[in-house]
Amino acid sequence: MIKRRHVLEWMILLAANAFAVLWILTSLSSHVALYYHLDDGHTDELILAYHCEAATRAVLVSWSVALTALGLIRSGVPLRRLLARPGYVVCFAVTLEAFVWLGLIILGFGFRIFYRLPSFWGEDIRALTLRESSTTAYLIMIWWTLLAFSRRWRPSRGWIDRAGRIIGVIWIVSIVLHLAVDYGFDVENDHRTMARQPAPSR
Amino acid sequence: MGQNRRLFKIQDGVIVVAACATVFACFQAIYPSLVSNFFRQRWTGVRLVHWLIDISDSAHVLSGCLMCVSFAVVLLRFVQPRPSLRRITAQPGFVACFAASIMGGVVILFVAARKVGRLLGGWNLNTSFWELTTPALSSLDSLGRMIVGVWIMLRLMRRPKPESDWVERIGQVVGVLWIVQWLLARGIQVVSMMSNRSLFDDGTY
């Protein structure tokens, strides 16, 4: 028998997936130049990696926010005990960060309107989420280390906590992807700078 | 605990002196040019804005200094006699410095990897140490926000148990300074946006 609570849970997950798809579609329609302060003409592999990174963020953030809501609705466990579960902590940290991003995006957007500056709000969102999202990975790493140090690492058997732990691991691994993409753009810029340099005079 | 109160010993002094020396090295590396620019110019509004944009470098210097002190506080906290790990991880000051140390450690590794990569690549671009470290230090700008996040989570777990220990006090001050640094860096970004210039432009005065 389908309960009302289950319908609500499925709706939350569906909304998270819809949001992730919307985010990815917006990301694919962007071009990289504004974020990296470049013209264009980068290699296809690098731009693909950039889009993969943005898509990963979109899925991880949407799922984390959904799982935070589900954890609060389903378990009935107080928040202070939920925060000792390593998987739930990941989702909670990402949700906390997502709210900060939302605030920053709204502030930035209002600022541009107030001062009548040219608006690249789509680019602003992508730049912000890419630039700031590595902080979330550090937050996850630090909180996991603190839980382990204080011997409060208490994973639960539920799928929410497991999914949260998987999201946490993917998030930490995605730092490497971020650094690699950043380094790739850096290397291509170096090559361009070298190509533009005049030949040494004799 | 009153009877376990930590006294200042010679080894603590050595750690503090080493941290201070690193902090002064950070200042020495970037401040001379900023100070001379300040006294050399005739001041107009636009120049003031440009100088403020230059000070964004000093926000990075501040983060460099705070990083040194954070490492020192973590080191001091682990020196015996110390409270149990369970108690330490409930202290907001230690947690803030620990967070800064982990993030700083990763950033230092990243800078070292880039430097090695450039050396191995054999690019003759005359990149200075500060050219490489500034983007890395700017990634530390959001560390203050992360400390706010960690403190909020500690609070929600009802765990923050600050001690009246001098190491913990220093840790708390450093945590607050990280948050100030974050606000400063963001404020400078806003100033640069108001002047409709990017922070990455190398404008002439």
A110 touches chain B (CB under 8 A): no
Per-residue pLDDT reduced to its tens digit, B53-88: 666 656 666 777 788 888 888 888 888 777 777 888
Q: Mean per-residue pLDDT for B110-119? A: 71
Whether A37 sits inside 8 A of B125 (CB atoms) is no
Has residue A188 got a pLDDT over 80? no
Where does residue B126 fall: left (phi above 0), alpha (psi -120 to 50 degrees), or beta otherwise?
Answer: left
> How far is it, in rounded angstroms, from Cα B96 to Cα B83?
17
Q: Give B120 to chain A, closest Cα distance, Å.
A: 12
Nearest-by-Cβ selection for B89 from A117, A135, A149: A149
pLDDT value of position A44? 65
Residue B15 lies in a domain: yes
Give ∠ CA B176-B161-A96 in degrees, rounded to 5: 60
B32 compared with B180, residue with greater pLDDT:
B180
Backbone phi and psi for residue B184, each to the nearest 5 degrees, phi listed first: -60, -45
Q: Mean pLDDT across the stretch A62-74?
A: 85
Query: Which pLDDT tens digit goes with each residue over B129-152?
Result: 555 555 566 667 778 888 988 888
Average pLDDT, rounded, for chain B: 72
Q: How far A123 CA lies from chain B's nearest CA (Å)?
A: 15
Write out chain A residues lying below 8 Å of B142, CB-based: 131-132, 135
Q: Domains in chain B: how many in total?
A: 1
Question: Which residue intervals of chain B are DSSP H helices?
Answer: 10-40, 45-78, 85-88, 92-121, 129-138, 143-156, 166-194
- CB contacts, 8 Å: A141 with chain B: 102
Q: Does A142 touch chain B (CB under 8 A)?
A: yes
Contact B157 A139 (CB under 8 A): no
Give the C-alpha distances (Å, rounded to integers) separating B106 from A137, B7, B74, B102, B128. 11, 32, 16, 6, 20
CB contact under 8 A, A138 and B106: yes
Domain extents in chain A: 4-30+39-184
User: Is the CB of A183 inside 8 Å of chain B's CB atoms?
Assistant: yes
Residue B65 lies inside a defined structural domain of this protein? yes
Report the candidate in B86, B88, B94 with the shortest Cα–Cα distance to residue B70.
Answer: B94
Domain that includes residue B88, residue range: 10-194
Work out the minimum CA distance from A177 to partner chain B, whole angstroms.
13
What is the Cα B88 distance to its own chain's centre? 22
Structure tokens at A168: 């946490």
* Structural domain includes residue B199: no
Cβ atoms within 10 Å, residue A169: 13
Handedness of CA B170, B176, B178, B184 (dihedral sign): negative
What is the percent of chain A with per-residue pLDDT over 90, rounded to a whole number? 0
Taking CA atoms, A35 is separated from B125, B135, B191, in Å, by 23, 14, 19
Per the CB < 8 Å rule, is A149 touching B158? no
Binned at pLDDT 50, 70 and 90, residue B176 comes out as very high
> Which residue in the set B114, B125, B149 is minimally distant from A93, CB to CB?
B149
Residue B69 lies in a domain: yes
Q: How far apart are CA A80 and CA A149, in angstroms?
A: 17
The tens digit of pLDDT for each residue in A118-155 reads: 655 555 566 666 666 677 888 888 888 888 888 878 88
Is B157 within a domain? Answer: yes
Half-sphere exposure of A94 toward its Cβ, with a 13 Å CA cutoff? 30
* Both tokens assigned to A199: 């030949």
Tell me the mean pLDDT in the region B32-46. Answer: 61
CB-count exposure of residue B137 (10 Å: 0-12, 13-18, 19+): buried
Q: Distance (Å, rounded) from C-alpha A187 to C-alpha A4?
A: 54
pLDDT at B124 over 70: no
Q: Do A111 and B190 touch (CB under 8 A)?
A: yes
